[in-house]
Amino acid sequence: MKEVTEVRVRDLLGEELSDLDLRVLCGEARLDENHISNPRVQKPGLAFAGYYAYIKPGRVQIIGESETEYLRTVAPDRRADRFSHITALPVPVFVITKGIEPLPDFLAQCEARSVPVLGSSALSSTVIKRLSWFLEEHLVPTTSLHGVLLEIYGLGVLLIGGSGVGKSECALDLIARGHSLVADDRVTIKRYPSGDLVGYCEEPLRHHMELRGIGIINVQDLFGLAAVRERKTVDLVIELEHWEPGRAYDRLGLDESVYTILESPVPYIRMPVALGRNVSILVEIAARNHVLKMQGHYSAREFARKLEEQLERNRQTGSR
């Protein structure tokens, strides 16, 4: 299920941004009601100059030294008119940087309209960088899937399938073979503006696995730091399913299927699990084969092409 992609203004005052030392200058009553919906921050210089269309809804507005010094040069009546227009726009919060004292008439307008204003002693460049990172992390589309995410030969491989099919046992075997765990059981996935799907595990499950008959284990403690990764792009989805006699399974690998996560297609393989099949080795081979495909080598297509050429030669020989 996709999570709501909004951030309350109050969330900026949390532990993740404590290095900015943000403090409330006014508008405390709306810290929970005002929401930030756009990860890109703005500097409202053009709006202060009278171009109000520049202000985009749901963005944090950064006021630094250059904006403040410009405003000091504007006549008080014209400045008051611009403040009135700007504070009436759908601005969730203003952040004033470098410890600058806000102009009293600006603060009065924000207070009158209950627009939150935060202050920080950090430089504008630092505030913009940190807020942009924080908002991008919290505002991108997010979902959670039941499965196991591993790094295999540099690929992010997501194992999915029904309960009891052997996902965790397969993952444990792969970890013992030198690959790395990203998330077990509940995989959180974010889709970034670049299009990358990045998976990770929320605390307190991070670095842990549940194995039936054994219980919860800490993979990092058992196998070392190299056996775990904090996050990884999802490059391949493999669905493990119980073998069903009589069901048709792809034998050549010519079919190119995809699995959709957050409206983004990911290469997908359906892998039957049966007694006597070493599933971890099959998953490892699937990952190796996918790396070859990314490099332009398609074994199944090359085999089919050679087979077709051989059949064509046989037809030509037989017709003579």
Q: What is the pLDDT of residues 213-264, one digit of tens each?
A: 888 999 999 999 999 999 999 999 999 998 877 676 666 666 788 999 999 9
Q: What is the pLDDT of residue 1?
A: 44
Q: What is the pLDDT of residues 155-212, one digit of tens each?
A: 999 999 988 888 999 999 999 999 999 999 899 999 988 889 999 999 888 999 988 8
Domain boundary among 117, 139, 161: 139
Q: What is the pLDDT of residues 276-317, one digit of tens each?
A: 678 999 999 999 988 888 888 777 677 667 767 777 677 777
Judged against a pLDDT cut of 80, whether residue 111 lies above it is answered with: yes
CB 301 within 8 A of CB 292: no
Residue 68 included in any domain: yes
Residue 71 included in any domain: yes
Residues 64, 104, single domain; the answer is yes
253-259 long-range Cβ contacts below 8 angstroms, 24+ apart: 253/289, 253/299, 253/300, 254/300, 254/301, 254/304, 259/160
- State in Å, rounded, how far the first CA of the chain is from the last one: 64
Hey, which residues are catalytic here? 146, 167, 185, 251
Residue 303 included in any domain: no
Residue 300 included in any domain: no
Number of domains in the chain: 2
What is the Cα–Cα distance from 122 to 19, expressed in whole angstroms? 9
171: tokens are 């993952």
What is the Cα–Cα distance from 93 to 110, expressed in whole angstroms? 10
Residues 39, 181, single domain; the answer is no
Residue 318 included in any domain: no
Residues 21, 123, single domain; the answer is yes
Q: What is the pLDDT of residues 74-85, one digit of tens each?
A: 999 999 999 999
What is the Cα–Cα distance from 252 to 14, expressed in whole angstroms? 53
What CATH number corresponds to the domain at position 11? 3.40.1390.20
3-state helix vs strand vs coil in the chain, percent to 5: 40, 30, 35
H-helix or E-strand containing 313?
helix 299-318
Domain boundary among 87, 115, 139: 139
Residue 29 included in any domain: yes
Could you list the residue range(s) of the whole structural domain that residue 17 is in? 7-139
